[in-house]
Structure 1
Amino acid sequence: MVKFTLRSGLRWKVSLAIAGVGALVAVALSLVVHNAARASMINSSRDTMDQRIQLAQRYYQSNGRTVLHAKVDDPALPKQLREAAAIGQRATFVQDSGGAPQVWASVPLNNGKILSIHQPFQDRLKILDDLDKALIIGSISVVLGGCALGVLIGGQLSSRLRKASAAARKLADGDRDVRVREAIGGRVRDETDDLARAVDGMAQALQDRLEAERRVTADIAHELRTPVTGLLTAAELLPPGRPTELVRDRAQAMRTLVEDVLEVARLDGFAERAEMQEIELGDFVRRRVRTFSPDARVTVVRSAYVSTDPRRLERILGNLLANAAKHGRGPVDVTVEGRVLRVRDHGPGFPEDLLREGPSRFRTGSEDRAGKGHGLGLTIASGQARVLGARLSFRNADPEAEGGGGAIAVLWLPESSPTSTGTFPIIRVPD
């Protein structure tokens, strides 16, 4: 089942919220003003009609004639006014018959008859219509003004958050000089500053902890080099035989592990710098693959001259081939296409946690990879790629579309030299 999500920017959410609140307030105020104005106008008309009926009553009682369009015992007189006249009361009444309201006024006469006047509320309705138009224009102006204010406020907040996000990504990529609080800038002190300071504090604490762990790891590995070297030297003095071969093999494995741990520690320190040279990638790969893995198949689709560190590139290629030999199955294919280098085996593929999280030291992945290596080969390859300013990615082959399964490691070499911090350049990935 596919779920669709609507993603909108913060500035539009803020503007819509302000516009919505403004619209609600404008509608509420318009209704209150409209009803209050209508009630005031009707009451004013009733007062006017009451004054007219009193004047018409005095004139009728003195002259016996009606004025001001007054009528005696009007058959259209509302029932409410007849009831008021029956108890001797002068009254006014608003009759709403679907069109313009009729304002009535009546008074009982001495002869038992009822004198009444009525007039439509038409003129006042025109004034009320004009008032409604003004209220509508004002409400629209309030909504548009709220939208503009929301875009302005939301834009400033969104800009600060985008700057904070970009700084956090640089920090995650290894640029230790970046500070989120300095990146967002501005004189405004709000929750964004609190978030930036918290992120900077967390990043600094993590960096301090990682640096401490790196130093401990490097110190332990460095202290192990001397006894491991002595152990190898002593193993060479043992008499020939199967036990001697086992001791030499394990001592050599320990020495390789110590050297790998030292290399990881140096890479984690972000102090490594590449020594760039111009090389022809296709020829370089052919010669190195012939040394590392003679059985691997090399295909040069299109060669290119690249500026890179040959020693570090050789280390990456050797680790990728060693990983394919240990954890995959043959044949191993190495493809060069411009600045892109691919190494593929036909084994079970990379484990899901490696594809999701990337290489991790001392984690060998699935059960079928247990006991083969220490998980440092791909970690070192990724670290060396970062020093080169390259990008190393891992994926599994599609069994149907790519002629069987297997693990595929792809190295994209940059078009320019790496940055001073060894961060990733922007590399366009071919489709």
Structure 2
Amino acid sequence: MRPALPRWSGTLAAKAAAFITVMCCALAALLGVLVHVQVTNQTVGQARDQALQRLAMTTERYEAGDPLRWGAGLDPPGLPRRLRDLAVSGDRGTMVADFAGRPTMWAAGPADGGRALAVAVDYSQQARTIEGLDRAILWSSGLAIGATLLVGAFAVTRVTRRLHTTALVARRISAGDLDARVNDPRTRPRAKVPARPQDEVAAVAAALDSMASSLQSKLLSEQRFTADVAHELRTPLTGLHAAAELLPPGRPTELVRDRVAALRTLTEDLLEISRLDTGRERLELDTERLGPLAARVVRGTGKGTEVRVVRDVSVETDRRRLERVLGNLVANAHKHGRGPVVLTVDGPVVTVRDHGDGFPEYLVAHGPQRFRTEGGAKGHGLGLTIALGQAEVLGARLEFANAADGGAVATLRVPVE
């Protein structure tokens, strides 16, 4: 049984959500940085121009011998050393620095006596503006990322839900439910409504439905052919069997009767397979103990099979079908394997093991296939096919494997309440 589809971990929805989140964060960070740099440059530029203008006016007053206004002076306290050095060297410049616990825009220029003439402009309002802008950018980016993530997750979830439905239908088809269809709304035409364009998911769903319909029609055709052939063979076989019974005793008569019996068995097997294929089989449930039922099956085969009951259990099952499954497994072990053949009952698990060459690799990997045998073995490959089909009707699980020390092992797990 294949594992169920994965949940959010590692799914397309989670990957898409992570991709959308990363891209939104990257875009928000890029836009935030651009806006921050642009506004900061503009704000700082305006404050610098204002400080330089005040410095020019202060320089004129200083050269005219007028008293300096508040916020201006020669080598005032708080003037950044780097800016003072720049001014002493003969250049003008500006710098933002904290003064008296407040952000201040300084502008300084050269004065006589190796001193610096400087002015201080309050930069608090501009700093608050930039901080408010940064907070607004963070909040708006968070809201934009959240809204985009919700919208993207909704859109992606709609797509993944359709893909999930398509995958479930594909698994139902592989499990034998040939009536399963996706029926994606985008693939159904509507009367008086323009056809909606099909996306990739709808194309996959339409292709799966088309494949399922084609596969179903071919399988139904094969099933009808098998059933018709088997039914048509029954009438001449009945007459042939009656005619063989009228032949005089002798070796040729025994050969004819043996071949007629083999042909009748093959026909009945084909009829049983056709009934299993059409799903018309119905259970007749009753309570049975597996130990006595297994012993009865072994006695009915007339083969030397050892029965081991490790732990007996009562199950509610269809006795006739369960006997058919176990009988086919025991007969196959004697026909294609080597003794000793051991049937073991361990609770609801029944195993049939021989000590021959084991099952072919294709059978272990893919299960029994009709009319396929290997290694020169005689038979039509129908016994195990019927056993597997009847086990499915019972709701049991039939598995085929090879023992490590040689021999084939068929394991039947009967459902219990």
What TM-score results when the alignment is normalised by the length of structure 1?
Answer: 0.76
Output the CA distance in 2 between the equivalents of 1:41 and 1:154: 42
Matched, 1:306 2:283: no
Give the counterpart letter for 1:262 in structure 2: L
Output the CA distance in 1 between the equivalents of 2:184 and 2:170: 12
Secondary structure of the corresponding residue to residue 309 of structure 2: strand
Shift of 1:390: 2.1
Which residues in structure 2 correspond to 1:76-115 (within 5 Å)?
none
Matched, 1:22 2:28: no
Which residues in structure 2 correspond to 1:18-57 (within 5 Å)?
18-57=20-59
Output the CA distance in 2 between the equivalents of 1:132 and 1:179: 54
C-alpha distance 356-147 of structure 1, shift in aligned 2 (>3 A): farther
Which residues in structure 2 correspond to 1:15-414 (within 5 Å)?
15-67=17-69, 117=118, 123=124, 124-125=126-127, 127-129=129-131, 131-149=133-151, 151-181=153-183, 191-365=200-374, 367=375, 370-397=376-403, 399=404, 404-414=405-415
RMSD: 4.0
Give the counterpart letter for 1:324 in structure 2: A
Deviations 1:289-339 (A, max 9, x none): 111143111122333333322222221111111111122221111122333
User: Contact between 1:343 and 1:408, CA under 8 Å: does it hold in 2?
Assistant: yes
User: Contact between 1:335 and 1:343, CA under 8 Å: does it hold in 2?
Assistant: yes
Shift of 1:268: 0.9
Give the counterpart letter for 1:390 in structure 2: A
User: Greater shift after overlay, 67-76 or 53-62?
Assistant: 67-76
User: Contact between 1:297 and 1:331, CA under 8 Å: does it hold in 2?
Assistant: yes
C-alpha distance 121-283 of structure 1, shift in aligned 2 (>3 A): farther
Output the CA distance in 2 between the equivalents of 1:331 and 1:314: 21
Secondary structure of the corresponding residue to residue 180 of structure 1: coil
Long gaps (5+) in structure 1: 1-5, 86-90, 417-431
Long gaps (5+) in structure 2: 1-7, 187-195
Output the CA distance in 2 between the equivalents of 1:353 and 1:320: 18
Output the CA distance in 2 between the equivalents of 1:293 and 1:24: 78
Output the CA distance in 1 between the equivalents of 2:265 and 2:290: 28
Residue number in structure 2 paired with 1:88:
none
Deviations 1:129-171 (A, max 9, x none): 5544543454445445555555555545444444443343333
User: Contact between 1:163 and 1:183, CA under 8 Å: does it hold in 2?
Assistant: no
What fraction of aligned residue pairs are identical, expressed as a percent? 43
C-alpha distance 83-228 of structure 1, shift in aligned 2 (>3 A): farther
User: Greater shift after overlay, 23-32 or 116-125?
Assistant: 116-125
Output the CA distance in 1 between the equivalents of 2:319 and 2:74: 116
Secondary structure of the corresponding residue to residue 181 of structure 1: coil
Give the counterpart letter for 2:270 in structure 1: V
Shift of 1:380: 0.7
Deviations 1:244-281 (A, max 9, x none): 43333333323322222222122111122223333333
User: Contact between 1:347 and 1:407, CA under 8 Å: does it hold in 2?
Assistant: yes
C-alpha distance 76-294 of structure 1, shift in aligned 2 (>3 A): closer
Output the CA distance in 1 between the equivalents of 2:300 and 2:83: 116
Which structure is higher in RCO with an 8 Å CA cutoff and minimum separation 6? 1
Give the counterpart letter for 2:303 in structure 1: P
C-alpha distance 143-329 of structure 1, shift in aligned 2 (>3 A): farther
Output the CA distance in 2 between the equivalents of 1:145 and 1:137: 12
Secondary structure of the corresponding residue to residue 340 of structure 2: coil
Output the CA distance in 1 between the equivalents of 2:285 and 2:393: 11
Output the CA distance in 2 between the equivalents of 1:78 and 1:95: 13
Shift of 1:197: 3.4
Output the CA distance in 2 between the equivalents of 1:121 and 1:67: 15
User: Contact between 1:12 and 1:154, CA under 8 Å: does it hold in 2?
Assistant: no
User: Greater shift after overlay, 15-24 or 232-241?
Assistant: 232-241
Give the counterpart letter for 2:168 in structure 1: A
User: Greater shift after overlay, 323-332 or 221-230?
Assistant: 221-230
Output the CA distance in 1 between the equivalents of 2:382 and 2:185: 35
Shift of 1:216: 1.4
Secondary structure of the corresponding residue to residue 393 of structure 1: strand
C-alpha distance 107-8 of structure 1, shift in aligned 2 (>3 A): closer
Secondary structure of the corresponding residue to residue 43 of structure 2: helix
Shift of 1:13: 1.4
Output the CA distance in 1 between the equivalents of 2:356 and 2:133: 80
Output the CA distance in 2 between the equivalents of 1:340 and 1:73: 99
Shift of 1:236: 3.8
User: Contact between 1:385 and 1:392, CA under 8 Å: does it hold in 2?
Assistant: yes
User: Greater shift after overlay, 405-414 or 147-156?
Assistant: 147-156
Output the CA distance in 2 between the equivalents of 1:372 and 1:183: 52
Output the CA distance in 2 between the equivalents of 1:244 and 1:297: 35
Secondary structure of the corresponding residue to residue 183 of structure 2: helix
Give the counterpart letter for 1:409 in structure 2: A
Output the CA distance in 2 between the equivalents of 1:413 and 1:77: 92
Residue number in structure 2 paired with 1:427:
none
Output the CA distance in 1 between the equivalents of 2:82 and 2:268: 111
User: Greater shift after overlay, 131-140 or 299-308?
Assistant: 131-140
Matched, 1:13 2:18: no
C-alpha distance 200-82 of structure 1, shift in aligned 2 (>3 A): same
User: Contact between 1:101 and 1:120, CA under 8 Å: does it hold in 2?
Assistant: no
What TM-score results when the alignment is normalised by the length of structure 2?
Answer: 0.78
Output the CA distance in 2 between the equivalents of 1:343 and 1:320: 7
Shift of 1:67: 4.3
Residue number in structure 1 paired with 2:5:
none
User: Contact between 2:87 and 2:110, CA under 8 Å: does it hold in 1?
Assistant: no
Shift of 1:61: 4.4
Aligned residue pairs total 393
